[in-house]
């Protein structure tokens, strides 16, 4: 099949924008499948132009229309890792997470879809959003590692998470959505909730906003209702369920830092992820300082540390190194 150069670029752009007609989709798919050279041209175009696209909803629509029509089988490994560097803006993050997934669909046979895994690694100081093949929306916080299949099978929807994310899961009663984390698994049918499972944190949590959630921890099962939080203490290996303010669990998406009765060591982990710095506590006596409060997105790290110091019964000082990437509390 042949496509003239001008029409070729128009079809490529139409794919990224989600604006192709059914006839145009068929023409593009046939052209891509007709030769390895055509596939390489399309691959190069997507790589060079994916960051120009910002409408993720249209991209999802386009992908859904095309995914069953592409039959090219990849010779590469069934794996795709997506790094979200600290300098990348949120709009581009959404696109790279989405289009990297869409891009790999184009090089796989439809029978391979469910086995292909994408990985999104979000740098400290940044956030990302991913829309999965079933329409589920996932918002990823700083320092998060998220793994998901390019397309879910009809039998299962499984993803894995280390870090923090808010999920708005598309309802499907016959196909449960399962999140695997280092400490527990979360099983839902269709609901919205926040999951925090950083390896270095003492408390890993699930906060339910709507619907119903089941937490599976080894041989035990816990169910929570909207307005409740499941907490797993990684030190004591104990679980508990408490009432909570669901709004606070998702304020990180707006750039707001929420500190809820944490000691200084735990607070520093939050600040390290938020500001992409290393914080060293030189004296163990400072680690037991506890604090509760909220900080807005425009507040600087030094302003936050000053406020904690002013309200703490144990006073401390801090220094910042020359490259401004390490702070020592002493």
Considering only the C-alpha atoms of the chain, give the largest distance between any 2 of them, rounded to a whole number of Å: 76
CATH of the domain at 278: 3.55.50.30
Residues 225 and 87 in one domain: yes
| Residues 233 and 202: beta-carbon distance below 8 Å | yes
Same domain, 276 and 176: no
- Same domain for 241 and 259, yes or no, is no
Q: What is the pLDDT of residue 92?
A: 37
- pTM exceeds 0.75: no
Task: Tell me which of 201, 226, 249 is where a domain ends.
Answer: 249
Please state, in angstroms and rounded to a whole number, the distance separating the CA atoms of residues 257 and 297.
7
Q: Are 268 and 277 in contact (CB under 8 A)?
A: no
Q: Are residues 200 and 273 in the same domain?
A: no
Is residue 3 assigned to a domain? no
Same domain assignment for residues 179 and 66? yes
What whole-number distance in Å separates Cα of residue 101 and Cα of residue 112? 13
Residue 128: give the domain boundaries.
56-249
pLDDT for res 319: 93
- Domain edge (last residue) among 249, 270, 303: 249
Assigned domain for 38 exists: no
Residue 201 and residue 110 in one domain: yes
**Residue 325: per-residue pLDDT:** 87
User: Count of CB atoms within 10 A of residue 112's CB?
Assistant: 16
Q: Are residues 86 and 199 in the same domain?
A: yes
Alpha-helix runs per DSSP H in the chain: 5-17, 22-34, 36-49, 56-66, 90-105, 246-249, 264-275, 301-311
Report how far apart, in Å, the C-alpha atoms of 163 and of each of 192, 195, 196 are: 17, 8, 6
The C-alpha atoms of residue 33 and residue 190 are separated, in whole angstroms, by 36
Task: Tell me the backbone φ, ψ of residue 166, rounded to 5 degrees.
Answer: -110, 130
Phi first, then psi: what are they for 52, rounded to 5°? -80, -10
Residues 199 and 291 in one domain: no
In this structure, is residue 46 part of a structural domain?
no
233: domain CATH number is 2.60.120.1440
Question: Does residue 205 share a domain with residue 320?
Answer: no
* In a domain? residue 127: yes
Count of the separate structural domains present in the chain: 2
Residue 253's CB is within 10 A of a number of other CB atoms, namely: 14
Contact present, 17 and 58 (Cβ < 8 Å): yes
Residue 7 belongs to a domain:
no
Q: Quick check: is 129 in a domain? A: yes
Q: Examine the fold and report which residue of 214, 249, 284 is the final residue of a domain before the chain moves on.
A: 249
Residues 6 or more apart in contact with residue 20 via CB below 8 angstroms? 11, 14, 28, 62, 65
Residues 72 and 220 in one domain: yes
Q: 88 with 194, same domain? A: yes
Q: Is 122 helix (H, G, I), strand (E, B) or coil?
A: strand
Residue 32 included in any domain: no
**Look-up: residue for tokens 């959630």?**
213
Residues in the chain, pLDDT under 50: 50-79, 84-114
318 and 295 in one domain? yes
Q: pLDDT value at position 10?
A: 84
What pLDDT score was predicted for residue 46?
65
Q: Is residue 306 part of a domain?
A: yes
């Amino acid at each position: 099949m042949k496509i003239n150069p001008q029409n070729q670029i128009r079809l490529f752009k139409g794919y990224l924008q989600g604006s192709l007609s059914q006839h145009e989709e068929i023409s593009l798919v046939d052209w891509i499948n007709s030769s390895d050279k055509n596939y390489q041209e399309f691959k190069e175009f997507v790589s060079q132009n994916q960051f120009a696209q910002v409408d993720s909803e249209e991209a999802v629509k386009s992908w859904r229309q095309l995914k069953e029509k592409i039959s090219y089988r990849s010779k590469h490994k069934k794996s795709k890792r997506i790094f979200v560097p600290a300098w990348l803006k949120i709009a581009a993050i959404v696109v790279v997470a989405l289009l990297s997934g869409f891009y790999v669909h184009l090089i796989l046979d439809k029978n391979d879809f469910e086995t292909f895994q994408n990985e999104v690694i979000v740098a400290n100081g940044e956030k990302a959003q991913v829309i999965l093949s079933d329409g589920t929306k996932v918002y990823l916080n700083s320092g998060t590692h998220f793994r998901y299949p390019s397309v879910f099978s009809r039998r299962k929807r499984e993803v894995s998470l280390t870090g923090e994310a808010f999920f708005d899961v598309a309802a499907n009663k016959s196909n449960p959505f399962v999140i695997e984390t280092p400490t527990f698994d979360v099983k839902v049918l269709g609901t919205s909730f926040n999951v925090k499972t950083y390896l270095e944190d003492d408390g890993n949590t699930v906060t339910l906003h709507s619907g119903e959630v089941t937490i599976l921890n080894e041989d035990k099962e816990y169910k929570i209702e909207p307005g409740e939080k499941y907490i797993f203490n990684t030190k004591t290996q104990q679980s508990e369920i408490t009432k909570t303010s669901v709004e606070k669990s998702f304020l990180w998406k707006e750039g707001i830092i929420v500190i809820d009765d944490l000691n200084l060591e735990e607070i520093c982990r939050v600040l390290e992820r938020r500001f992409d710095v290393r914080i060293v506590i030189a004296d163990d006596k400072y680690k037991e300082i506890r604090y509760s409060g909220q900080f807005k997105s425009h507040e600087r790290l030094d302003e936050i540390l000053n406020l904690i110091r002013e309200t703490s019964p144990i006073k401390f000082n801090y220094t910042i190194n020359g490259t401004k990437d390490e702070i020592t509390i002493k």
